[in-house]
Amino acid sequence: MELKKIEEAFEKILEGIGEDRDREGLIDTPKRVAQSYQELFSGVGKDPKEPLLRHFTVDRDDLIIEKGIDFYSMCEHHFLPFFGTIDVAYIPNGRIVGFGDIIKSIEILAKRPQIQERLGSELADAIYEALDCQGVMVIIKAKHLCMTMRGAKKENTQIVTTAYRGILEKDTAKRVEILTLLK
């Protein structure tokens, strides 16, 4: 990541909105923005499957659910945050991963310019492919500041997206079971 380019670009943004770049409160702002972008976009160029490559063998393929995983990301359309929770359910195929490894994959995907629909789809793909599991379901519930601070200005709107892979694409009964467990 080229922090100096981010600093220079943010100086131009300050000028563009009519702010005094040399005002006391703004003197180090371009540097602070660059440093925060380094963290906020640290998932760029990283493979979300990588944390999932260390798996454990299991004798049974019982349903596994990890729910209420907090996340935040930056909307690629307005570069404003969106945040919420992610629920992940998967049916193994003889292999599982640690719960923290799923969180690491979420962090990689969320820490890049993103849209909610793609975040869920990419997470489902990463889990499905890395584990070669029978099925995956990802549900994301999020609030988008681009809808709260600008545009529609609807503060309490929550967007819910889903992604299914494998047998969960067609097995409605199993999806209903998962949704019931998530309540």
How crowded is the C-beta side of 71, counted as CA atoms within 13 Å? 34
The CA distance from 128 to 91, in Å, is 9
Alpha-carbon distance 49 to 102, whole Å?
Answer: 9
Question: What are 103's two structure tokens?
Answer: 């969180």
**144 annotated as belonging to a binding site for a ligand:** no
Q: Are strands 56-57 and 64-75 parallel, antiparallel or unpaired?
A: unpaired
Q: Are 13 and 5 in contact (CB under 8 A)?
A: no
Residue 146 marked ligand-binding: yes
Whole-angstrom distance, CA of residue 14 vs CA of residue 56: 51
Write out the binding residues. 75, 78, 146
Write out the binding residues for Zn(2+). 75, 78, 146
